[in-house]
Amino acid sequence: MAAPLTVVLIVAVTVRACLFRSSLADLIAERVEVVSPLNAWKRVVEGLALLDLGVSPYSGDVFHETPLIIYLFHFLVDYAEITFMVSSLSSHIVLYCLLLSLIVTSCCLFVDRYLLNPFTVLSCVAKSTCGLNNAIVALFILSTIKKNALLSAIFLALSTYQSIYPVTLCAPAVLYLLQRQYIPVNVRWASFWWFLLQYAFMYLGSLFVIICLSFFLLGSWDYLPSVYGFILSVPDLTPNIGLFWYFFAEMFEHFRLFFLCVFQINVFFYTIPLSIKLKEHPVFLIFMQLAVISIFKSYPTVGDIALYMSFLPVWSHLHRFLRNIFLVSCVLLACSALFPVLWHLWIYSGSANSNFYYAITLLFNVAQILLVSDYFYAFLRREHHLTYGLYLKRKDGSEATLVLK
């Protein structure tokens, strides 16, 4: 709580406003690390222009946003900068409220990490709709923490509607709400199934309503293959910071479908094991799920990374158990600096080739995976110490070391 909320907000707004007005805004909006074919602002404008020309935005392969976004920006296209700034600020305020209720110790020096995170600033200045998605996820988490099941289901439905992957956040939401209502997570209890059914009904009902609303907005189901088909089948191989693009650019045609299924299942299948292991700690589960989605989704951007990184202050008490934090932070910083350099060398100078950029992508993702698994290790270790004591002794009384076996 070193800097009060208002000061942070003012600083953030100033930084963003300066960047919006400078020539850097166009440069940042073109960067592949910050925008992807799914959430680039250029494509939103293109979709609106196609609508003006009388052509369906989904008839081509340029526009992959949901109809509600078209509807929203149809009215707000002239106020785009303000919209994104507001969504960024509101995410921050939501996260602030969230973190305040979650932080166990009083050490919360970096509560404002979301807004001043350079990744978030870049994402906002580029007017990537990732910012809107982050705002919705933040609202979902806040409503879950505030025990409002209906709002939580609605926001989760909105978030899933925009990009499919947040459906895995159902599990932690249900677990959290069950925990708060003192319903044990046991398949034999009727109240467990009853609550699960209620939540599923609210979630699926709101999702159904949103999808039907989208159908009525544009009068056709064209958007389903354009949005969800695009996310799942990855036809566009534009480079980004994820693992999919080069893998599928170099894939043998025969195995393309197989590896596509493997990579997509990879995002979803950690849900069940993680939920079983972390059923007592749904908040950490939310963090883990967000991290897994951001790393393994088909078109990740730095905006997704900013979202799960803003949760790290909640677990500042885990720092003493982290093993690789120095290495990971060095690698992340180095990669973030090298991305634009190697992109320039490949695309503009022609003195490097795609392998250079791909290598940095790999390194960046390895660092993120190490970060997430390190935090998981630290969390589990702390839980172990909470149960068995901090200073463990062996049978002969000497200092013991803990290993995973």
Partner 1 sequence: MRYVHDLQLLVTLTHPKDDFQEELVIRPLQSGDVYASFQFRTLWETDFMKGNKVSHYRLFPKSLGQVISKFSVRELHISFTQGYWRTMQWGQPFMPSPPGAELWVWFQDSVTDVDGTWKELTNVLSGIFCASLNFIDSTNTVQPSASFKPLGIGNVTDHRFLRYATLPREIVCTENLTPWKKLLPCGSKAGLAVLMKSEKLFHSSFHSQAVHIRPVCQDSECTTTSWELRQTLNVVFDLHTSGQGKREWSLFKMFSRTLTEACPLASSSKIYIDITDNPQVSFLHNILSLKIQAVVLGDRRTFSVYDLTEANTFGSMRSLNLLIRWKSSEGDMLRPLLHAERYVAGYGLQTGEIHTLMYNYHPFRSFPILLLDSVPWYLRLYIHTLTVTSKGKDNKPSYIHYQPSKDRVRPHLLEMLVQLPPNSVTEVTVQFERALLKWTEYTPDPNHGFYVGSSVISALVPSMVAMDTNNTKERPLFSSFFPCKEESSYFVRIYTEPLLVNLPTPDFSMPYNVICLTCTVVAVGYGSLYNLLTRSFQIEEPNPRLAKRIANVIRRLRGVPPLA
Rule CB under 8 A: say whether 295 interacts with partner 1.
yes
Nearest C-alpha neighbor of 207 from the set 146, 270, 164, 176: 164
- Min dist. Cβ of residue 378 to partner 1 (A): 10
Which one among 41, 110, 215, 247 touches partner 1, defined by CB under 8 A?
A: 247
The only residue of 4, 78, 219, 235 in contact with partner 1, by rule CB under 8 A = 235
As measured in angstroms, the least distance from the Cβ of 246 to partner 1 is: 6
Q: Are 129 and 47 in contact, with CB atoms under 8 Å apart?
A: no
Alpha-helix residue ranges (DSSP H) falling in 269-324:
271-277, 282-296, 302-309
- Backbone phi and psi for residue 204, each to the nearest 5 degrees, phi listed first: -70, -35
For partner 1, give the closer residue by CB, 71 or 110.
Answer: 71
Sites for partner 1 among residues 255-284 (CB under 8 A): 259, 263, 266, 270, 273-274, 277
Closest CA to 203 of 160, 154, 163, 169: 154
Instruction: Tell whether residue 237 is a contact of partner 1 (CB under 8 A).
Output: yes
Q: What is the closest distance, in whole angstroms, from the C-beta atom of residue 40 to partner 1 in the complex? A: 10
Q: Terminal CA-to-CA distance of the chain, rounded, Å?
A: 40
Let me know if 357 is exposed, middle or buried by CB neighbors in 10 A (0-12, 13-18, 19+). buried
Mapping DSSP to helix (H, G, I), strand (E, B) and coil, where does residue 75 land?
helix
* Two structure tokens written together for 168: 């895995």
For residues 200, 206, 208 and 212, what is the CA-based torsion angle, rounded to 10 degrees?
A: 180
366 binds partner 1 (CB under 8 A): yes
Establish if 362 lies at the interface with partner 1 (CB under 8 A): yes
For partner 1, which is the closer residue by CB, 146 or 393?
393
Site string for partner 1, 19-38 (x = CB under 8 A): -----------x--------
Contact between 220 and partner 1 by CB under 8 A: the answer reads no
CB of 401 to partner 1, least distance (A): 5
Three-class DSSP category at 399: strand
Q: How far is the CB of 25 from partner 1 (least distance, A)?
A: 16
- 286: nearest Cα among 299, 275, 298: 275
Figure out which of the listed residues 45, 211, 218, 312 binds partner 1, where binding follows CB under 8 A. 45
User: Which CB atom, from 249 or from 257, has the smaller least distance to partner 1?
Assistant: 249
The answer to whether 59 touches 222, Cβ cutoff 8 Å, is yes
Number of chain residues interacting with partner 1 (CB under 8 A):
64
For 306, residues 6+ apart whose C-beta sits below 8 A from its C-beta are 114, 117, 119, 120, 123, 134
In the complex, the smallest distance separating the C-beta of residue 61 from partner 1, rounded to whole angstroms, is: 4
| Nearer to partner 1 (CB atom), residue 197 or residue 402 | 402
370 is an interface residue for partner 1 by CB under 8 A: yes
Token pair belonging to 146: 């505030």
Asked if 249 is part of the footprint of partner 1 (rule: CB under 8 A), the reply reads yes
Q: In angstroms, give the least distance from the CB of 158 to partner 1.
A: 27
Contacting range for partner 1; rule: CB under 8 A; set: 139-147, 216-224, 328-336, 343-351: 343-351
Name which of 254, 260, 251 is nearest 296 in CA terms.
260
- How many whole angstroms separate alpha carbon 311 and alpha carbon 352? 36
Query: At 107, which amino acid appears?
Result: C
Site for partner 1 in 49-68 (CB under 8 A): 49-50, 53, 55, 59-62
CB closer to partner 1 out of 6 and 349: 349
Helix (H, G, I), strand (E, B) or coil at 112: coil
Contact (Cβ atoms closer than 8 angstroms) between residue 120 and residue 265: no
Contact positions toward partner 1, by CB under 8 A?
A: 30, 42, 45-46, 48-50, 53, 55, 59-62, 235-239, 243, 245-253, 259, 263, 266, 270, 273-274, 277, 295-296, 346-348, 350, 353-355, 358, 362, 365-366, 369-370, 373, 376-377, 380-381, 384, 392, 394, 400-405
